[in-house]
Each structure stands twice: as structure tokens, then as C-alpha cells.
């Protein structure tokens, strides 16, 4: 009843998932990437921050410790600009490069490689005030608002805990000189930022899990949608069944024409049946004129009995011929001896002499 009413109770098919991905509907948490960037950025500054401070100090001493020229000489200005770029770039580029790499890896981890140039095109519907209000006052908007308030609470608690742990140092910081106070403030700032980033990263993992669950719920399908998709991809099941029935009947008709001309039928004994014909005048080697499994094998054996064609049980040979030889194709050289033995037995039953078969290569 639920499925008939249109409830989405069926898991999404692979085709539905592929189509959703092509439209940009993927599991993605912005908080996960932001938290990862914050943690990595703070760790990079903690390791390379001293170099950044040294460059900044040298730059300030140079700029404030010299008398500026009243006129600008172009070669000197170019050389000074190159020196500034080299000194700042040498310390900033590795930091920015690692952060860019972390940002890219965060997106790849979540959604993989996905290129959607059409998503860059402007969408006028996004400018609709009504659509914006619907997104804000929807269940998703309420969840985002609640999660945002929860994150603010967690960040506040973590920051307060980090500062409280170093409460004694904060009290004694009034006795620090200017340099010591600057180092202390930077240290406590980076420590707080790092622990806040870790807390945000943990929360982002839960946010990613929620986004994944919501994505699965959005992709779910009704029973009717599953059937419609099968019809679009494979055709109507009734038509498919009818087509298969016709193909099966045509195969049985071909078997009815070929089996009576066979010299012997090799069986498995009940699951497989292979009909073999050999005419030394027209054939280089014996050929398989019909083969089948299950009901088709029963049909072949029944036709063989009706037409007085010997049925010989040779399990390994039947399996080999059924697996490796197509209909109307000669048997492989490696099977000449086994087939010759079967044909010799059949010809002996009929009181005939077996024609000479070609030798295996």
C-alpha cells in the first residue's frame, strides 16, 4: 500500500545514482573542507611561522629604518619589488600550496573527480526571493541553523577550555616584556585555533554522515519509478519475455532440424547435450550441430531417441564441447581422440566402419 501511494521505499538504482551525479547531486560537506583547512593552516603556521615572522621583521626594519628617496629610480624600484616578491614568496608559497592541496584533496575525498561545466552557467531561478525563503524556512534550513548554533556553542566551550587551562600564564603575562608578550599571545592564539579546528573537524565528520544519509533519502525511488526505469533502459518486461520465448522457440526449431542429421549425442548425463555430425566427404572434422543445457538438453535427447540416434554419456567430453565449441563449428584438435572413440562405438553399434578422421596437430 505504501508503494502504491508513492512512498519512496526502494533504494536508488545505479542508473539513478549516475544521473544524480551528472546533475551535481553528490555528498559534500563544506564544513569538512573548511575544518581541514583550518587545522592544516594552523599546523603550517606553527612549523613555518617563525620564518614568516623573520621575513616580516626584516621587511619592517628595512622599510622603517631607511630614509625614503624623494625620487623613484626605475631599476632600483624593480629590484626592490623583486626582492620583496622573492622573500615573501619563498615563505608564503609553500604554506598556500599545501593549503590549496588540502582543499583539493578534501573535495576529491568527498565527491571524487567531477567535471560539470554547465553548473557554472548562471541560474536565474537562484535569484528568486520565494525560492530563497523556501530554502531558509525548510527542514534542511532548520537543521543547518540548529547545527550552526551547536557549532558556535562547541567552539566557545573549546576556546574557553584552552584559555582556562593556561589561566595562570595569562595572569602572569602582565610581567612580560613586549617581545615575550607577543610570543605568548601568538602561541595561545594558535593553540586555541588548533583545538577549535579539531573540534570543528569532528563535527564536520558528523555533518558529512548526515549529508550522506540525506543524499540516500533523496535518491530513494518508488516502486513505480523503478519499473519505469527498467522499461526505459531494457524495455517492457512483457515484451522482453515474449521476445525471449520467440528466440527459445526458434532455437528449438533449429534443433528439430539439426538433431535428426546427427550421428551421436553426447550427454552430461542430464544437464548438457551436444549433437555431433561427421561426414568425411564434406567435413574436415566432426562438427557440433546442436547443443544445450536444461530444457534444451532434454529436447535434444528426446529428438535423438525419436530418430534412433545413439545417446552416449561422456561427462568431461560433453562439458568441453558445450563450453568451447559453437554450433556449426568443428571440434578442437585436442578432442579428436575422444570424439573418434565415441563415433567408433556408434558405428560399431550400427555395424558400420568408422571413416578415417584427420589426425590431431
Cis bond upstream, residue 269 (ω within 30): yes
Question: Measuring CA to CA, how many Å separate 15 from each of 11, 27, 61?
Answer: 12, 17, 64
Termini Cα distance of the chain: 67
pLDDT digits (tens, 9 = 90+) for 127-150: 666 666 666 667 777 777 888 888
Q: Please return the burial class of 339, using the count of CB atoms within 10 Å of its CB with bins 0-12, 13-18 and 19+.
A: buried
Mean pLDDT of 30-39: 86
- State the chain's mean pLDDT as an integer: 79
Structure confidence at residue 275 as a pLDDT band (50, 70, 90): very high
Mean per-residue pLDDT, 106-125 = 71
- The reported pLDDT for the residue numbered 266 is 92
Are the C-beta atoms of residues 207 and 33 closer than 8 Å to each other? no
Burial (0-12, 13-18, 19+ Cβ within 10 Å), 10: middle
Q: In this model, does residue 1 exceed pLDDT 50?
A: no
* Domains defined for the chain, CATH in brackets: 26-65+76-112+129-220 (no CATH), 250-350 (3.40.1690.10)
pLDDT of residue 76: 67
Q: pLDDT exceeding 70 applies to what percent of the chain?
A: 82
pTM over 0.85: no
CA 61-67-73 angle, 5° bins: 110
Amino acid at each position: 500500500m505504501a508503494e502504491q501511494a508513492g512512498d519512496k521505499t526502494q533504494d536508488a538504482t545505479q542508473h539513478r545514482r549516475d544521473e544524480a551525479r551528472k546533475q551535481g547531486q553528490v555528498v559534500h560537506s563544506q564544513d569538512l573542507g573548511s575544518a581541514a583547512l583550518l587545522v592544516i593552516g594552523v599546523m603550517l603556521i606553527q612549523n613555518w611561522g617563525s620564518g614568516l615572522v623573520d621575513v616580516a621583521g626584516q621587511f619592517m626594519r628595512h622599510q622603517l629604518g631607511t630614509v625614503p628617496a624623494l625620487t623613484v629610480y626605475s631599476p632600483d624600484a624593480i629590484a626592490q619589488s623583486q626582492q620583496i616578491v622573492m622573500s615573501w614568496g619563498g615563505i608564503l608559497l609553500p604554506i598556500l600550496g599545501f593549503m590549496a592541496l588540502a582543499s583539493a584533496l578534501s573535495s576529491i575525498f568527498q565527491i571524487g573527480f567531477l567535471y560539470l561545466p554547465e553548473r557554472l552557467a548562471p541560474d536565474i531561478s537562484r535569484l528568486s526571493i520565494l525560492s530563497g525563503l523556501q530554502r531558509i524556512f525548510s527542514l534542511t534550513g532548520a537543521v543547518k541553523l540548529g547545527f550552526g548554533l551547536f557549532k558556535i556553542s562547541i567552539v566557545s566551550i573549546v576556546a574557553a577550555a584552552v584559555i582556562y587551562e593556561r589561566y595562570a600564564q595569562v595572569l602572569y603575562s602582565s610581567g612580560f616584556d613586549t617581545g615575550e608578550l607577543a610570543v605568548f599571545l601568538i602561541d595561545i592564539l594558535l593553540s586555541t585555533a588548533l583545538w577549535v579546528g579539531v573540534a570543528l573537524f569532528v563535527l564536520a565528520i558528523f555533518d558529512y554522515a548526515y549529508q550522506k544519509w540525506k543524499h540516500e533519502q533523496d535518491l530513494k525511488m518508488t516502486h513505480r519509478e523503478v519499473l519505469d526505469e527498467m522499461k526505459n533502459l531494457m524495455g517492457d518486461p512483457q515484451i522482453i519475455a515474449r521476445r525471449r520465448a520467440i528466440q527459445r522457440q526458434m532455437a528449438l526449431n533449429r534443433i528439430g532440424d539439426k538433431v535428426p542429421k546427427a550421428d551421436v549425442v553426447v550427454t552430461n548425463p542430464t544437464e548438457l547435450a551436444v549433437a555431433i555430425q561427421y561426414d568425411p566427404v564434406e567435413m574436415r572434422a566432426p562438427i557440433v550441430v546442436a547443443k544445450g543445457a536444461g530444457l534444451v538438453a532434454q529436447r535434444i535427447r528426446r529428438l535423438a531417441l525419436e530418430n534412433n540416434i545413439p545417446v552416449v554419456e561422456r561427462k568431461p567430453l560433453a562439458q568441453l564441447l558445450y563450453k568451447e565449441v559453437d554450433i556449426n563449428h568443428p571440434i578442437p584438435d585436442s578432442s579428436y581422440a575422444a570424439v573418434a572413440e565415441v563415433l567408433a562405438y556408434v558405428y560399431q553399434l550400427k555395424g558400420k566402419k568408422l571413416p578415417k578422421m584427420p589426425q590431431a596437430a
